[in-house]
A = this chain, B = another copy of it.
Amino acid sequence: MAVIECVPNVSEGRRADVVEALVNAIRRVPDVRLLDYSSDSAHNRSVITMAGDAAPLKDAVLALFDAAIPAIDLRTQTGEHPRLGAVDVVPFIPIEGVKMEACVALVKETAAEVARRFQVPVYLYEEASSNPARKNLEDIRRGEFEGLATKMSAPEWTPDYGPSTPHPRAGASVIGARMPLIAYNINLATDRLDVAKKIAAAIRQSSGGLRFVKAMGVKLEERGIVQVSMNLTNYEKTPMFRVFEAVRREAERYGVNVLESEIVGLVPAAALIGTAEYLLQLQGFKPNQVLETRLRAKDGT
């Protein structure tokens, strides 16, 4: 059985009864694990985390749209967070026993059904988009709900699925597939913020560094040290050990040592197992050699 994670972001974070109704719509779908949900009142936005196999997740997303469209009206919704739709963004994330390609297929099936059933236009993003100008969520969302009708009238912003005009209340939705994010910080044994900022600039993609690293230098005032604070957006292609070694080597030239690192929140086991393979110079290691994976495999003897 595949494990896919799905993290819908909805444009409602103030009315607790509405959020509860949306979450309950997901709770009613069999074989979907609701893992977490949280609301931000200033952003007027909620993030729901769930997991399951492809078919039940698709049902859960459709149930969420079904509950959200009558309850959320973007013509009157306000909040700090940019948004294009009532169900604003829906990323699918491959976790276990599933390839990115299968997640992309699930995205497209789900998007087609959302468009058909609710007449909501859908843009694909990240790995599900084959148009380089429409891979990045920020590019798609620029102009927000208020600018959507004008934006959609341009031929380059014809949606991937559904009508070429916004849904009157629910706008448009952005559905896609991406790798799990890892929030990873490396603390340096110095109070020099300039060093952390120079290292961040050296290792992040935007200024010439590693492809799947976002980084900034920050000061941890209360501890008197600095931190290279990162998001790793594809641990398969830019692995954790390579990021760690790159930061360590950059720090060396300023005479600074790495004090420690930390993972904020969750990390896929494969990201850590890959790191161990590197340190141990493991050859020919296969994921099914991990005891827990074997124990959970479907085929017994």
Contacts and interface: CB of A to CB of B under 8 A. Distances in A.
Interface of A: 3, 5, 33-37, 51, 95-96, 180, 187, 240-241, 244, 258-263, 265-269, 271-285, 289-295, 300-301
B269 A301 contact: no
Contacts of A260: 281-283
Of A33, A263, A271, most buried by chain B (CB within 10 Å of CB) is: A263
B284 A262 contact: yes
Number of chain copies forming the complex:
2
Contacts of A33: 295, 300
Nearest to A288: B266
A227 to B, nearest CB: 12
Contacts of A240: 276, 280
A180 B291 CA distance: 10
Contacts of A280: 240-241, 244, 261, 275
Contacts of A281: 244, 258-261
Nearest to A262: B283
Contact of A295 (B35, B37, B295): B35
B272 A96 contact: no
Given A241-B280, A275-B279, 10 more contacts: A36-B301, A240-B276, A260-B282, A261-B282, A262-B284, A266-B289, A269-B269, A272-B273, A272-B276, A272-B290
16 contacts: A33-B300, A34-B300, A35-B300, A35-B301, A36-B301, A95-B295, A240-B280, A260-B281, A260-B283, A261-B281, A262-B283, A262-B284, A263-B282, A272-B272, A275-B275, A279-B279
